Structure 1
């Protein structure tokens, strides 16, 4: 679905809810509507980056806990 649209320099710019953009001349509407446009790649990369940061933090915490357990078992 169209989230936003604006006119600039003789073109209509359509912004879709999934982050995709289409630029069409004012003289006509887009000839073909694509049901699933590609998402905004920067938005996807930012979201994936945040998920990977969380996974890395969780892994580092688990590793630190395991190292502490090993250290506790090896000391008399």
Structure 2
């Protein structure tokens, strides 16, 4: 496998991003148990490998709370 260019995120980089997002959401009382690194996204199916973050699987109450927080932060 050829070396990964420095501009592409590593699993570690994406894991840190997930933890930062988890901490930021927790400040607003939002917990997403399904928030995780999507490891198959590193398999090369995307060009270049994207290192996606899975954010789905939350209920409507959590989704509405997350949307409200993001709107509030966006207004600043």
Q: Please indicate, yes or no, whether the TM-score normalized by the shorter chain is above 0.5.
A: no
Specify which structure has the higher proportion of strand: 1
- Larger Rg, first or second structure (1 or 2): 1
Q: Which has the higher contact order (CA 8 A, sep 6+)?
A: 2
Query: Structure 2-normalised TM-score?
Result: 0.29
